[in-house]
Structure 1
Amino acid sequence: MTKPVLDQSLQSMDTRSREVFRLIVENYLAEGDPLGSRNLARRLPQQLSPATIRNVMSDLEHLGLIYSPHISAGRLPTQQGLRFFVDAFMEIGDLSEKERQVIEAQVVASGRSQSLEQMLTEASQMLSGMSRGAGVVLAAKSEAPLKHIEFIQLEPRKALAILVSQNGDVENRILELPAGVTSSQLVEAANYLNAHIRGLTLGEARTEMERLREEARNALDTLSQSLVDQGLAIWTGRDTDTPQLIVRGWANLLDNTMAQADLDLLKHLFEDLEAKESLVQLLDLAEEGPGVRIFIGSENKLFSLSGSSVVVAPYRDKNARVIGALGIIGPTRLNYARIVPMVDYTAQLVSRMLR
């Protein structure tokens, strides 16, 4: 919902209309059920007849904020109505001291004693447990400084590249070799690379190799150039690296979705999450703006088929560079007011642990 449309809707709603709309949305977020005029009449602070309430609901339908799922039913918020509610009515709550302690216990404790992957896994599990959705974390490839590179010939035209980082991580890749390459040439190429890129990240190593080639083109023989082009090039850049997606709490999604008879939508969500290209899109969503971002239903192309909502925030490294995203995926009736500060605080803690 664009801001001009939002402003226009606000201006056309009196106090009575706003209260009816708020009750319909809050009932949907809490129960997932339509709210009819008789039940509304009992909940409104002022006494209004069901007929008057039906007229108000008709006006709200005309604005595109609510709809009737079937004849003679109560009303539910539309996707546009949910966005309108989030932007214009919702008051973001604050975490209780107990909730902060739970988040800190999971993130800080695991961050001090375990690997980054394990810390993110526990953060995902924790977010799922504290919300109605599935906790999701996108962990981008880390760029730890390199300690050692080695090439092992597997076939005449293939080699195994072994990269050891200074933090102890080991990554293996299969590379295509030029014709006629020998094992001794691979050893010489590895020695050359180790002499020049030790202590650099993969991105820095790629830049350094390009600089060396410009300074002295004969310093690298054909094989070394080929290994650099094939190896280091494919290890750098988000477009070629496959980030790691950590999702915990499928049972929460099943419970919520089955209650709404939306199993087909859940199937679409599973398919969306399995799509490799979707992982980069999730990180892009988080990077488009500061802080927590809320995407409702088809507002995000990533989960448009499933109609799921996403509340996502980026986390950053010591250089304030976005290296991943975490948040909640779930049905559109998420408790946004509670989840937003939860996701925000968790992202801040993860960023703090990475400094």
Structure 2
Amino acid sequence: MSRQRSEDPGQAYGLSQLNERSREIFRQIVDSYLVTGEPVGSRNLSRSLTAPLSPASVRNVMADLESLGLIHAPHTSAGRLPTESGLRFFVDAMLEFGDLSDEERRNVQTRVASHGRSADDILQQASSLLSGVSRGAGVVLTTKQDARLKHIEFVQLDPRRALVVLVGEDGSVENRLVPLPIGLPASAMVEATNFLNARIRGRTLLEARAEIEAARTAASEELHELTAGLVSAGLADWGDGDADQRRLIVRGQSNLLEDLRALEDLERVRLLLDDLESKKEVIELLGRAETAEGVRIFIGSENKLFSLSGSSMIAAPFRDDRQQIVGVLGVIGPTRLNYARIVPMVDYTARVVGRLLGEG
């Protein structure tokens, strides 16, 4: 399993700057935060260290860690929490990622393929699985262009607008509004529907558009000129713009409302839910993970999407049977995600999804 390091070299600290005692205290602070979300004080730390150390000596080490920007005090007399830079350092330089057990691997394979083998079933189950494992939100990003088409229909709403309904073989349904040209004959909707359905079934959107493009001359002869324009508009509307070519699946938003400890937590989650509603930004961030060779980890304000909510995302791309990247999946949640457990789970789930899609 591979994972990408921090994009900002200014946030990377050398282990040589921390002696063994400093590393142990820093690890204890981070471990406590990941479990409880609460700051930890010098007295509690002094009791949990392997080598005896007085609270005063622990405070001196904590002061050094704070000067390096690795920890901070949320309140004047409180204990310490890791900073986002400290979490990044911990994840990149100190955290050891284990492998999944055979039972966990079997569970992933069974869960992801449990409700059928269509692409939509696989992606929906992968998102739900990751949500359950992380107690965060499971996210999947893929391209709509890869879905196999089953049916298309034009429904006139008024003299100037029509609704185009596109149905995929996986049961997905997409609707778009298209403008109608002036003077369009009443029979044009039926003609356009029949013409497209004779050519798109079983093809991806990209293949269908190529088919229609290749048949443009024949289409002009076979159809009324205005109807031919409607045919082109009906398919083109699905391929214009990067955002329209992407499909985002989010599961488990309600998990983010659990285990709230303070009003600050409630505000953070509210901001995170707002982030998830801003699909364009989520799609853009997940798209960056598609270029990675392995798992990508985004922490807090390293990315503008999470600059207010203080959240993290762990994501990995998945590939088809030709080893082409066709999407990305992952987990979004608070910065105190269980990275050691979730990173290998995301990595393995991505590989299972890719294999199942390739077999489909």
Normalising by the smaller structure, the TM-score range is 0.7 to 0.9
1:98 aligns with 2:103: yes
Question: How do 1:298-309 residues align onto structure 2 when only pairs under 5 Å count?
Answer: 298-309=301-312
Which residue identity lines up with residue 26 of structure 1 in the other structure? D
**Does 2:222 align with 1:248?**
no
Shift of 1:349: 1.3
Asked whether 1:38 is paired with 2:43, we answer yes
State the identity %. 55
Match status 1:257 vs 2:254: no
Q: Deviations over 1:177-229 (max 9, x none)?
A: 1101113344444455455555542222323444455x789657632452244
Give how far 1:68 is off: 1.3
Whether 1:132 aligns to 2:138 is no
Indicate conservation of the 8 Å contact 1:146/1:201, yes or no: yes
Q: Is the 8 A contact 1:93 1:338 kept in 2?
A: yes
Correspondence 1:14-53 to 2 at 5 A: 14-53=19-58
C-alpha distance 196-96 of structure 1, shift in aligned 2 (>3 A): closer
Summarize the alignment of residues 337-352 of structure 1 with structure 2, pairs less than 5 Å apart: 337-352=340-355
320-329 or 73-82: bigger deviation = 320-329
Check conservation: 2:145, 2:205, Cα contact below 8 A. Answer: no
Take 2:161 and 2:182, find their aligned partners in 1: how far apart are those partners? 10
CA 303–222 in structure 1, closer or farther in 2 if over 3 Å, else same: farther
SS in 2 for 1:27: helix
Q: Structure 1 residues 170 and 274, CA, compared in 2 at 3 Å: closer, same or farther?
A: closer
Q: Distance in 2 between matches of 1:242 and 1:307?
A: 25
Amino acid at match of 1:23: Q
The structural deviation recorded for 1:29 is: 1.0
> Greater shift after overlay, 344-353 or 103-112?
103-112
**8 Å contact kept, 1:9–1:63:** no
How many residue pairs end up in the alignment?
351
Equivalent residue for 1:227, pick from 205, 230, 238: 230
* Bigger mean CA deviation after superposition, 133-142 or 304-313: 133-142
Of 144-153 and 178-187, the range deviating more from structure 2: 144-153
Return closer, same or farther for 1:82/1:224 CA change in 2, 3 Å cut-off. same
Letter in 1 for 2:64: D
Q: Give the secondary-structure state (helix, strand or coil) at the position aligned to 2:297.
A: strand
1:62-211 aligned at under 5 Å gives the runs: 62-112=67-117, 115-141=118-144, 143-165=146-168, 171-194=174-197, 197=200, 199-211=202-214
1:150 Cα deviation from its structure 2 partner:
4.1
Aligned residues: CA RMSD: 2.9
Q: 2:297 aligns with which of 294, 299, 314?
A: 294
Q: Which moved more, 1:216-225 or 1:140-149?
A: 216-225
How much does 1:147 deviate? 5.0
Structure 2, unmatched stretches of 5+, are: 1-5
Deviation at 1:230, TM superposition (A): 2.2
Alpha-carbon offset, residue 298 of structure 1: 1.3
Is 2:286 the partner of 1:283? Answer: yes
Q: Could you tell me whether the CA contact under 8 Å between 1:111 and 1:353 is conserved in 2?
A: no
> Does the 8 Å CA contact 2:145/2:204 hold for their aligned counterparts?
no
Cα pair distance change 1:191/1:50, threshold 3 Å: closer
Q: Name stretches of at least 5 consecutive residues in structure 1 with no aligned partner.
A: none
| Equivalent in the alignment of 2:3 | none
CA contact (8 A) 1:67 1:77 kept: yes
Letter in 2 for 1:202: L
The residue matched to 2:134 in structure 1 has which SS? coil
Q: Deviations over 1:206-255 (max 9, x none)?
A: 23444455x789657632452244221111254224624322152x3223
Q: CA deviation at 1:152?
A: 4.2
What is the DSSP-based 3-state SS (H/G/I as helix, E as strand, rest coil) of the residue aligned with 1:340? helix
Rounded to whole Å, the distance in 1 between the matches of 2:170 and 2:140 is 22
Residues 217, 161 of structure 1: CA spacing in aligned structure 2 closer, same or farther, 3 A cutoff?
Answer: closer
Letter in 2 for 1:257: L
Q: Deviations over 1:127-171 (max 9, x none)?
A: 232223232333542534445544344433233434455566554
How far apart, in 1, do the equivalents of 2:184 and 2:65 lie?
73
Structure 2 CA distance for aligned equivalents of residues 334 and 227 of structure 1: 49
Q: 1:111 to 1:286 in 2, by over 3 A?
A: farther
Structure 1 CA distance for aligned equivalents of residues 163 and 55 of structure 2? 74
**Structure 1 residue 65 displacement after superposition:** 0.4
1:13 matched residue in structure 2: 18
Q: Match for 1:246: what amino acid?
A: V
**Are residues 201 and 48 of structure 1, via their aligned partners in 2, closer, same or farther at CA, if it must alter by over 3 Å?**
same
TM-score (norm 2): 0.85
Distance 1:349 1:257 in 2: 33
Pairing 1:267–2:270 present: yes
